[in-house]
Amino acid sequence: MHEVTPAWALIAFPIVLAALALLAATFDSVLTAVATGRPAPLKAMSDPLREVARLVVQQRRRTFMPDILLMRIGIFTLVVAAVLAGVVLPLGDRPVADLSVGIVWFNAMEVCVWGSLWLTGWGPNSVYPLTGGYRFLAQGLAYELPHMFALITAALGAGSLRIGDVVGAQRGLWFAVWMPVAFAVYLISAVAMAFWGPMNQAVGSDIAGGVRAELSGPDRLIFQAGRYALLAVAAAAAVPLFLGGGVGPVLPAWLWTALKTIAVLAVLVWAKHRLPAIRMDRFMEVSWMVLIPATLLQMLIVGIVVL
Amino acid sequence: MTLQVIAFWALAVASVASGMAVFIVDSMARATFALLASLLSVGLAFLLIDLEYLGVLVILMMVMEMLIMAVFMIMYMMNPAGLMPMKMVHNDRAAMVIAAGVFVLLALGAFVTPWPRRRGRPPADVTGALGLSIMGPKMLVMMVIGVAILATMISTVVLATHRGRYDRYGDALEARRPVDPGGGRLAVRDDRDRHGEDRYGDHPGGAQQPHPDHGPGPSSPGHGHDPSHGHGH
């Protein structure tokens, strides 16, 4: 049933994911340096690696009566969910795991982030992380339904839940072009899913860093790495779902995939520095009253076109 | 084939063990996630019989379900966040007898039932066949279940929330901006926020006289020009 995955993909996938995550972190720190008016902002490019070195050797802080087991499960789930969500995305022609229900798999893995953040927020037995964890659940309830409808619209357009088929269906026209609402909703929910940019209230500075307030040392390192990996995967999924995957003139498929992914990732990172924070309680109403009807309408139109 | 058998037994043991852990642990959070682990093992077991769609769907739904349970945990529990250790079982002895009885009954049923022999082969596209079945012969069942679940969801939310649209938009539903505890707009905070907060029910006297300006008239929807509150602009 499954085609054999080439061995190189197994090795290349984690490297590519780590590189994309590092790229996002680097771009983010450069933009932060520009915004804060630091002299020679390009020097901030090394900040993520410095932070890695600092966190590796940092002594762990402990809170009073923490649930260490649940907290660690939460932290690791973030990385694992990002990696597992990524395995169904094509690196070039073919993903690491070509599941026949790839879109549902992607969705399921990305929902595990709910559990991850709530557990990480719960574990330290501290009020701000707990608040952050519940904030993310509130945000999740808001973004998840439009997000699912956006994913299903892409699947509907291709007539298949296999991501490879979704890419194949876009040889003539990108889904982003004739399903603009679904694409826009996907981008919004991708930002919300990675608790990034305007939707980062779960780790907001108004609650002292929220979920990650009490994380230190290697715990914090893994959490941060997982968050950037998640952002990278969320951006990368937009490429096969809406931007034609590796299809493009002249250049090989893997290069087109990489270029498009980096472009989407750059837009998401840039948006964080350009847009004001969106409160999840307010977003709930917008999401259910505007985005859900809009995606349903989009799905209806796509359904009629496909029929 | 043997690998499949090993995987099945590993998942079966994991599922039962974490199901038992639900009643052994002393924390609401651990119990919730032990239950989730049990259900995830069941979802993974679906993948062993090539029911990919159903298996992944079980994983997706159970994660969301358990996390929504965590939301309800703070709404309904006497110890809202559940951070303190607490016992996960009540009425131990009777519960044990009932559980053992039900287990024996179900296990007996599994052994006694004359299972039908397998006929035909699974279709090449299981997911597609499932979809056709839901939209065809099983449609009535699915529609009834769907409506029942929707009704349950709506009534749960109605029971859980203490503010409806009349609290938000006034008795005549004609306020342009809702009055919410947090106040404010989608993204920005401004002075009008505090106004919104004052009009929320906690304010002394706010409950008796919630919306004095909601009658018809030029100033009716305005939250910003309410003379009964002291915030000027």
Give me chain B's average pLDDT, please.
Answer: 76
Asked whether the predicted pLDDT for residue B141 surpasses 70, the reply is yes
Percent of chain B topping pLDDT 90: 27
Residue B230 has pLDDT above 70, yes or no: no
Contact B56 A101 (CB under 8 A): yes
**Looking at the partner chain, which of A70, A104, A115 has a beta carbon nearest the beta carbon of B30?**
A70
The whole-number average pLDDT for the span A129-133 is 89
* Residue whose structure tokens are 């279709």: B123
Confidence of residue B203 (pLDDT cuts 50, 70, 90): very low
Give the pLDDT band of residue B200 (cuts 50, 70, 90).
very low
User: pLDDT category, A227, cuts 50, 70, 90?
Assistant: very high
What does the alpha-carbon distance between residue B202 and residue B212 come to, in Å, rounded to a whole number?
16
Q: Residue A279 and residue B186: Cβ atoms within 8 Å? A: yes
Please provide the average confidence, as pLDDT, over all residues in chain A: 86
**CA distance to partner chain A, nearest, from residue B180 (Å):** 9
Helix %, strand %, coil % of chain A (to 5): 75, 0, 25
More confident residue, A222 or A40: A222
Which one of A80-94, A217-231, B208-222 scores highest in mean pLDDT?
Answer: A217-231
Q: Which of A28, A22, A26, A19 is nearest to A269 (CA)?
A: A28
Distance, in Å, from the CA atom of B119 to the CA atom of B103, rounded to the nearest integer, reads 30
* B53 contacts chain A (CB < 8 A): yes
pLDDT digits (tens, 9 = 90+) for A168-222: 888 878 888 888 999 999 999 999 999 987 888 888 788 888 888 888 888 899 9
Q: Residue A122: its chain B contacts at CB < 8 A? A: 29
CB contact under 8 A, A105 and B70: no
CA B145, CA B158: separation in Å to the nearest integer? 20
Question: What's the confidence (pLDDT) of residue A230?
Answer: 94
Give yes or no for residue B61 having a pLDDT over 70. Answer: yes
* Mean pLDDT, residues A112-134 taken together: 89
Is the CB of residue B157 less than 8 Å away from at least one CB of chain A?
no
- B36 — pLDDT class (breaks 50, 70, 90): very high
**Residue A3 — very low, low, confident or very high, per pLDDT cuts 50/70/90?**
low
User: Which pLDDT score, from 0 to 100, does residue B101 have?
Assistant: 95
Q: What 3 state SS string does chain B have?
A: CHHHHHHHHHHHHHHHHHHHHHHHCCCHHHHHHHHHHHHHHHHHHHHHCCCHHHHHHHHHHHHHHHHHHHHHHHHHCCCCCCCCCCCCCCCHHHHHHHHHHHHHHHHHHHHHCCCCCCCCCCCCCHHHHHHHHHHCCCHHHHHHHHHHHHHHHHHHHHHHCCCCHHHHHCCCCCCCCCCCCCCCCCCCCCCHHHHHHHHCCCCCCCCCCCCCCCCCCCCCCCCCCCCCCCCCC
pLDDT tens per residue across span A12-37: 888 888 999 988 888 888 888 888 88
Question: Which of the two residues, B167 and B201, has the higher pLDDT score?
Answer: B167
Taking an 8 Å cut-off on Cβ atoms, the answer to whether B187 and A282 are in contact is yes
Distance CA A99, CA A211 (A): 33
Give yes or no for A263 touching B (CB within 8 A): no
For A277, which of B63, B182, B187 is closest by C-beta distance? B187
A141 and B68 in contact by Cβ < 8 A?
yes
More confident residue, B221 or B41: B41
Contact A193, A113 (CB under 8 A): yes
Q: What is the pLDDT of residue B196?
A: 44
pLDDT range class, residue B74, cuts 50, 70, 90: low
B49 touches chain A (CB under 8 A): no
Task: Flag whether pLDDT at A283 surpasses 70.
Answer: yes
Q: With an 8 Å Cβ cutoff, are A281 and B74 in contact?
A: no
Task: Give how far B162 is from chain A: nearest CA, Å.
Answer: 15
Q: How far is A100 from chain B (nearest CA, A)?
A: 8
How much of chain B exceeds pLDDT 70, in percent? Answer: 71
A234 and A194 Cβ atoms separated by less than 8 Å: yes
Alpha carbon of A109: minimum distance to chain B alpha carbons (Å): 7
Q: How far apart (Å, rounded) are the C-alpha atoms in residues B221 and B170? A: 9
Closest CA–CA distance from residue B218 to any residue of chain A (Å): 27
